[in-house]
Amino acid sequence: MADALEPVGRSVSIDRLVALIETLRGEGGCPWDQKQTPATMTRYLIEEVYELVDAILAGNPEAVCEEAGDVLFQLLFVVHLFGEAGHFSVQDVIDKNLAKMVRRHPHVFGDATAKTAEKVSENWDRIKKGEKGRPKDDSILESIPKGLPALLRASMVSERAAKTGFDWDDLAGVMAQAMEEWQEFSAELDADNGDAQDGKAAMEFGDVLFTMVNVARFAGFHPETALIRSIQKFEKRFSYLEKRAREADQPLEDLTFSEMHSLWDAAKGKID
């Protein structure tokens, strides 16, 4: 099985990227690159990852190729900064990840069996929990990054909690909970509490969103990607609406509600 992990001509390209970063950071290199730190690079890494996600969900292979390269560059740049500080090298990162992936796939590289994706996930969690250095009394939610976007974090929290058995029995159960949360939210909206931002209505709305995250989990899709696709669809339809308004030499702001919705209906007929 070790042969399956042997490199097949990719290391030279990675070395070229690392050499490029060394040049940018070195004497006579780029002033912007030279002043970066791991902390300052986090913003750019996050931005590039989201651009890659957009390209993937848009189904644009050419854009995926470009954005994946940008993510790889940013990631190698961050690793290089830690290497400069004497912490670890790119090879250390690769070796550690290879060892972890082999360890967590005993059904591929060992004697264990896992015939379903669910069993693989179960084994993965068991192995991860038993790995050295992980306190046994930590909450299973402890390792979820606090800085994640709320929808992503909600999804991870609900998945982790569900793996303990703290979950609804089926989709019907979580749908009923979602309806109950919506009713509670509606009731708070009707109450004049004078505190829209921090009041009970805002909390109940959060409960609605969190429960809908669980609906998505039971339905078998990720809420973040579902929302991204919905946003992309809205943007395409709204851009069509704007274009049609410009072609008619009508400022969008001057259109009546009826005229605007007529253009929106036309957009819906052309853009799925």
Paired tokens of 72: 């790889």
The reported pLDDT for the residue numbered 1 is 45
139-221, CATH topology level:
Helix Hairpins (1.10.287)
The reported pLDDT for the residue numbered 5 is 63
φ, ψ at 7 (rounded to 5°): -65, 150
The reported pLDDT for the residue numbered 243 is 92
Give burial (CB, 10 Å; 0-12/13-18/19+) of 75: middle
How far is residue 115 from each of residues 7, 108, 123, 125, 245, measured CA to CA in Å? 28, 11, 11, 16, 55
Superfamily of domain 2-103: MazG-like (1.10.287.1080)
Cα–Cα distance for residue pair 201/183, rounded to 1 Å: 11
The mean pLDDT values, 10 residues at a time, for the chain of 272 residues are 54 86 96 96 94 92 97 97 96 94 94 92 86 72 88 94 93 97 93 68 95 97 93 94 91 91 92 86
Report yes or no: 207 and 177 within 8 Å, Cβ to Cβ: no
The reported pLDDT for the residue numbered 196 is 62
pTM: 0.72
Q: Which residue has the tokens 């005229």?
A: 259
The reported pLDDT for the residue numbered 8 is 53
The reported pLDDT for the residue numbered 134 is 62
The reported pLDDT for the residue numbered 9 is 54
Cα–Cα distance for residue pair 74/265, rounded to 1 Å: 42
The reported pLDDT for the residue numbered 195 is 61
Give burial (CB, 10 Å; 0-12/13-18/19+) of 263: buried
